Structure 1
Amino acid sequence: MEDSIVVQATGLLQDLVGPNDANLHCIERLTGAEIIPRGNELLVQSDDDAVCELVHTIFDEIQRLFFQGRAIDPQLITAIYHGHSHGNQRTREDFQRESLVIPGGFQPVFPRTLNQSHMLKLLVERDINFVIGPAGTGKTFLAIAYALQEILEKKYRKLILSRPVVEAGESLGFLPGDLTQKLHPYLKPLYDAMETLVPREILQRLHDQNLIEVSPLAYMRGRSLNNCYIILDEAQNTTVEQMKMFLTRMGEHSKVVVTGDVTQIDLPKPHRSGLVHALRTLQSIDEIGVMRFTPGDVVRHPLVQKIITAYTRAEEENGKSG
């Protein structure tokens, strides 16, 4: 079957297909269709009528988002594809209604998958949230984006970032520099996320005003964290004792977000993962939110999702055979 997609606005086609046709190639990889640009048209070829219809739907969606001011890139296209291919259509109104607008930020942040949308809803509604899933699903990025919005709107006194330091056994004294410098390599993914969301001068101002604090778990013992937004990343590498200690630091008017991937536990034996234990122990508490992402939510390069799925399948097979 052949289908033709007509792009009316002059010059719009190049914006949609991307530099070196990157967006076009992404859609071809995802759908298996062949897409041929001709003037202001795209010729879509596939043996499957449903594939041609899906490609048409994807282009309708990215045109809507483009006119809304959204940058079109392979990551966004991948998210749109997963939404539509799993029957979870996202409209322009959905994206606009659910966007995060960070004061002074580069651009609004939109949920790219249905589960990302569910995560944002939980962040608004619940004071404690566990967000579980493989790398590339946006769990840490969205947690940081929402936190920056809340801090810059002065809804919380401080943003506290923490991560278990398995490699150093949380004994950081032997490392050079002050505490922030010691922890920087371990918290680099969190800093990377922040730097893609707001200019560095805003981050520097937040640090200078002590509105962002980085802290290893061991330094939280005995504290009561009031009016804070607290993110614990890579929580699968906490011990049971550390997780209990962390969760009980929460004070009045505070929010806690715990992110992790239970398939990537690096704890030495015989320690049990505090994240796995907490999910099981706290499951009866309705006020605690739990968001579970799957490999289908990965919004990095299309190959990443396939790699994660392949490893997950292999681990499951090894578990059965073992």
Structure 2
Amino acid sequence: MTEQSISLERLEETINVFGSFDENIRIIEGEMEVSVVSRDSMLKVSGENAENVMYAVKAIEALMSLSSRGEAINEQNVRYIIQLVRSGNESQISQLAGDVLCVTAKGRPIKAKTLGQKKYVEAIKKNVVTLGIGPAGTGKTYLAVAAAVAAFRAKEVNRIILTRPAVEAGERLGFLPGDLQSKVDPYLRPLYDALFDMLGAETYNKYLERGNIEVAPLAYMRGRTLDDSFIILDEAQNTSR
């Protein structure tokens, strides 16, 4: 049996790291096969495997560090940090508490949650054209929209243009009721959802009426002048060369 201790300095950070009903610590215990016990101002981590105990201690200390910088600790954070610690990349965890990219209409800060997302956001800021490639649900569209809103609020661009190829999945566009906008809306829904979250419905509609935000299928973008614009081409794998 191996045991290591961690000194607990601030109660708020400890509560944040433990999570409600100790759910975050339970994840670490399950993943690392260790036992974590809080005694006075110390945290005792014990287990049969010395390496697992060391990993658990590193993960808890990394979570404490993130918590001290005001980061919310949740299951996603915990599992990602366990993954980084196991792969020997715990030195990069400090980079996760990065700058706020954008603040939503409800006041929630949007930040890069993984090292991959951080690189992606930095690439968008530095380069004229950025290609984001990755599995579904990794924040490619959402972070791109957040970067667009941040640039628009900072007056770096005058327009946000959202576009994606309206590729049919067996059905025909003419089958859908309404005018052209109504027909392409279902294809552009992920972009709308992200914009509603960042700007709120009222502000979004105001900018849409003024032409500051434009949503269009890719087929209608040919020959357009795109000065001072932040353009997001979503689902670009469906475009032809």
**So what's the TM-score if we normalise by structure 2?**
0.80
Query: Is contact 1:102-1:152 (8 Å) kept?
Result: no
Aligned to 1:75: 76
User: In structure 1, how many angstroms separate the alpha carbons of the residues matched to 2:159 and 2:224?
Assistant: 14
- Deviation sequence 1:134-190 (CA, Å, 0-9, x none): 123222222122111111212111111222232267963442345554334323333
8 Å CA contact retained: 1:98, 1:117: no
Contact 2:5–2:43, Cα closer than 8 Å, also in 1: yes
CA distance in 1, matches of 2:133, 2:12: 41
Q: Residue 230 of structure 1: CA displacement?
A: 1.1
Change (3 A) 1:144 1:79: farther
Match of 1:176, as an amino acid?
A: P
User: Mapping of 1:174-193 within 5 angstroms?
Assistant: 174-193=175-194
In structure 2, the residue corresponding to 1:221 is in which secondary structure? coil
Paired with 2:240 and 2:165, the residues of 1 have a C-alpha distance of 9
* 1:78 CA drift (Å): 2.8
How has the CA–CA distance of structure 1 residues 225 and 111 changed in structure 2, closer, same or farther, with 3 Å as cutoff?
same
1:18 paired to 2:15: no
Deviates more, 1:156-165 or 1:182-191: 182-191
Identity of aligned residues (%): 36
**Residues 46, 110 of structure 1: alpha-carbon distance in 2 compared, 3 angstrom cutoff:** farther
Rounded Cα–Cα distance in structure 1 between residues aligned with 2:98 and 2:184: 36
Amino acid at match of 2:226: L
Task: Output the amino acid matched with 1:238.
Answer: T
Task: Tell me the distance in 2 between the aligned counterparts of 1:184 and 1:37.
Answer: 53
Q: Distance in 1 between matches of 2:54 and 2:152?
A: 43
Cα–Cα, structure 1 residues 11 and 65, in superposed 2: closer, same or farther, change >3 Å? closer
Alpha-carbon distance in 2 for matches of 1:19, 1:57: 21
Q: Secondary structure at the match of 1:35?
A: strand
> Which stretch of the first structure deviates more once superposed, 4-13 or 159-168?
4-13
Q: Which amino acid aligns with 1:213?
A: E
Quick check: 1:53 aligned with 2:54? yes
Distance 1:233 1:72 in 2: 30
Q: Counterparts of 2:229 and 2:106 in 1: how far apart (Å)?
A: 21
Contact 1:183-1:214 at 8 Å conserved across structures: no
Is the 1:13–1:40 Cα contact (8 Å) retained in structure 2? no
Moved more, 5-14 or 69-78: 5-14
What is the identity, as a one-letter code, of the residue corresponding to 2:168? E
Match of 1:296 in 2: none
- The answer for the alignment partner of 2:214 in structure 1 is 213
For the aligned residue pairs, the C-alpha RMSD in angstroms reads: 3.0
**For residues 160 and 145 of structure 1, what CA distance do their matches in structure 2 show?**
13
Calculate the TM-score normalised by the size of structure 1: 0.63
Q: Which residue of 1 aligns with 2:225?
A: 224
Measured at CA, do residues 69 and 216 of structure 1 come closer, stay the same or move farther in structure 2, by a change above 3 Å?
same
- Displacement of 1:39 in angstroms is 5.9
Q: By how many angstroms is 1:48 displaced?
A: 3.1
Distance 2:8 2:203 in 1: 39
What residue number does 1:127 align with? 128
Q: Which residue of 2 aligns with 1:115?
A: 116
Q: CA deviation at 1:214?
A: 1.4
Asked if the contact 2:81–2:93 (Cα under 8 Å) also holds between the matched residues in 1, the reply is no
Name the amino acid aligned to 2:219. Answer: A
Q: Tell me by how many angstroms 1:132 deviates.
A: 0.8
2:92 aligns with one of 90, 94, 105 = 90
CA separation of 1:83 and 1:224: change in aligned 2, threshold 3 A: farther
* Structure 2 unaligned spans of 5+: none
What displacement does 1:119 show?
1.4
If asked which structure has higher relative contact order (CA below 8 Å, sep 6+), I would say 1
Aligned to 2:132, the other structure's residue is in SS state: strand
Partner Cα distance (1:232, 1:68) in 2: 34
Name the SS for the 1:90 alignment partner.
helix
Look up the match of 2:64: 63
Contact 2:102 2:110 (8 Å CA) reproduced: yes
CA distance in 2, matches of 1:206, 1:30: 47
The whole-number CA distance in structure 1 between the counterparts of 2:231 and 2:35 is 47
Please show how residues 261-276 of structure 1 align to structure 2 within 5 Å.
none
